[in-house]
Chains A and B, each alone.
Chain A
Amino acid sequence: MEILISQLFAGLSLGSVLLLAAVGLSLTFGQMGVINMAHGEFIMAGAYTAFTVQQILGSAGWSLLASIPVAFLVGGALGLILEIALLRHMYHRPLDTLLVTFGVSLILQQLARDIFGAPSVDVRLPELLSGPVTIMGTPVPAARVFILVLTVLVVAGLSLVMNKSSLGRRTRAVVQSRDLAEASGISSRRTDALTFFVGSGLAGVAGVAITLIGSTSPTLGTTYIVDAFLVVVAGGIGQIRGAVIAAAGLGLLQVFFEFGTTASIAKVIVLVIVVAFLQIRPQGIVATRTRGLA
């Protein structure tokens, strides 16, 4: 029983990290069809922001709280620059954005290496989060509980924004039909920029969360980006609900197979499952119904 709960928690915890990394990606991918390979480096930028804020403030607890909004702004600003400078001009070539943003990610990685050095740095945990807490008789790391809660809050906040605010309404309108949205007076260009800001900002927040469970290095983003993409693909593009289900599913599957085999074999099995799953539902878990041929 204890093993089951701890495995279940480990799976959900991995899922929450994946979701946090993927939710911004899903937003930008869904709205603009832009595949942002630099998203992982925005996560890395968020992690280094947490590190820098801690260097300035000193106290581990306050710096964690402060670095979440700061990292959101840093990630968002990076995303905004990327959108305005490059992606805006390439919306009709979505596959090529993949490679252009890969170039951006190479540059950002090397920048981080030149600024912070190649060896990884560590962000100190606040006292409160460094020990274990007991859930249903099973001790689990408090930092992971914090990430789980943070993810729930972020996703809840995001779906609130998407469903209730005018930004969300505009975004959904542009996702459904760019031309019709423009015809009814929505500036799709401004909506794109804002969505990109929010989506990239969420990557920054994910970076702060990831500093709690591991050290920060310039290649941090590459460890998460592929899995985050798998979450987006399996979940169905532009669907927060799909991303949530897919992240939880992939996290649980990974941990489940890891229990029986090794981490590397589990990773391969999960990929095979995703490919097999796309055989059944090529559009992902939650698909937008269209009359398109594809």
Chain B
Amino acid sequence: MSAAAPSTPSTSTTPTPAGTRTLPAVTEGAGVWTTGPRGALLGLGVGAILLLVVAPMTLSGFGLDLLGRYLCMAMVAVGIGLVWGRGGMLAMGQGVYFGLGAYIMAMHMTLADTTLEGESIPTFMRQNGVDRLPELWGIVQHPVVAVAAVVLVPTGVAGLLGWAIFSRRVKGAYFAILSQALAAAFAVLIIGQPVLTNGSNGLSNFHSLFGWDLSDSTNRTILFLVVAAVLLTMLAVTWQLYRSRFGELLVAVRDQEERVRFLGYDPALVKTVAYMIAALFAAIGGALFVPVVGIISPADIGVVPSIAFLIGVAIGGRATWLGPVLGSIAVSFAGTQLASVFPSFWVYFQGLLFILVIGFLPGGLASVTGFLRRRKTSETIEMEVTR
């Protein structure tokens, strides 16, 4: 009977296996209005009205850019919710995939601007004493190739790495540490290749995207609408995923990996696919981040920013459907507001958020209602202990 991990908390004396008990609780934490198809449509509809109609009409150009930036970060959060909240894999290096998408896009845009100016190589390269375009850059010159690379490169990397890690049953803290080391190595790699990536300055000063002038305010509004639509699509996709057999399997793997294996499924495959989807979302977020924000540098993708993606997900409720997005947007908003006024206070506050939310409210704010209803929610996200 008990294939459960030896470290299942001693509080759970119920004979029912942890998997069957947590599964309904997860959807319950999401709140009543996101459970059924009608609720999901309602959620998406409200989001669509707010983002596609209300925001462009009420916000200034600056405010719209800022919101667009938050939405790009929220795309990473959707992926983290999938892989961490539903899959139990603490991916601490999503900045890598965000960065891959962003840098591919930034390289393409820099090249396009260079061609428009009638130059053969970007200015920073000439300053570094390069006179020929590196082959790595030449590849992404064509817009179709660049977009394909944004999709294929990060998912490919995630697929290879994920399969290598998960098929050998490296999990829990080991996976977290490896993903974190990946983020550290990636940032070091980018800083260490100033000829290719402009080092720690990053790539910036873009003028156009696929031939559209980025300084034009109508174009910027359209860009924002595209970003919002992409995010809403991602939400629709994850909602469908969570309802599908794959979503159920993913939660089962999180709670009772061994049992899933004994049932004949391959947990490594399930985990790798989830990891690849999260990587794809992060990469798309990164690729859209570049035209919206106008700069990408190693400071946006290293260890600390990678982990910072997690806090919004945790606050919103990591296993819920809308929680990660709402939490991420809220944290980004609070970050911009507080950090500009009290920079040092914001860091303390961020640290406290990590401690308080993860330490004492692991289900996130989404679990507060359930917590009031029945004081058992702390078990909602109880994950299998790693050893």
Contacts and interface: CB of A to CB of B under 8 A. Distances in A.
Given A86-B355, A99-B358, A265-B189, A274 B3 contact: no
Interface string A106-149: 11011001100000000000000000000000000000000000
B351 A106 contact: yes
B177 A230 contact: yes
B362 interface: yes
B386 A267 contact: no
A229 B181 contact: yes
Contact of B307 (A92, A99, A264): A99
A265 to B, nearest CB: 7
Given A92-B9, A103-B352, A282-B170, A268 B188 contact: yes
B7 interface: yes
A27 to B, nearest CB: 15
A293 B161 contact: no
Given A94-B173, A98-B176, A103-B354, A109 B347 contact: yes
B66 interface: no
Given A89-B359, A262-B192, A268-B185, A33 B173 contact: yes
Nearest to B262: A293
Contact of B192 (A35, A92, A113, A264): A264
How would you classify the secondary structure of chain B's contact residues: helix, strand, loop or mixed? helix
Interface string B154-181: 0000000100110011111110111011
Given A90-B359, A96-B362, A264-B189, A106 B354 contact: yes
A95 B383 contact: yes
Contact of B383 (A93, A103, A274, A278): A93
A265 B174 CA distance: 23
B181 A99 contact: no
A226 B303 contact: yes
B6 interface: yes
Interface string A53-97: 000000000000000000000000000000000100110111110
B219 interface: no
Contacts of B304: 222
Nearest to B7: A92
B382 interface: yes
Given A33-B173, A294-B171, A107 B352 contact: yes
A100 B176 contact: no
Contacts of B355: 86, 100, 103-104, 107
B351 A103 contact: yes
B170 to A, nearest CB: 5
A110 B3 contact: no
B188 A264 contact: yes
B176 A35 contact: yes
B259 to A, nearest CB: 10
A271 B191 contact: no
B4 to A, nearest CB: 10
A4 B5 CA distance: 49
Contact of A94 (B161, B172, B182, B184): B172
Nearest to A29: B173
Contacts of B90: 95, 98-99
Contact of A278 (B174, B186, B359, B386): B174
20 contacts: A33-B386, A89-B359, A92-B382, A92-B385, A94-B386, A96-B362, A99-B310, A100-B354, A102-B307, A103-B351, A106-B348, A109-B347, A110-B347, A114-B344, A226-B180, A226-B303, A229-B181, A262-B192, A267-B189, A282-B174
Given A107-B351, A226-B303, 7 more contacts: A99-B358, A100-B358, A106-B347, A106-B351, A107-B348, A278-B170, A294-B5
6 closest A-B pairs by CB = A264-B192, A103-B354, A106-B351, A107-B351, A110-B347, A103-B355
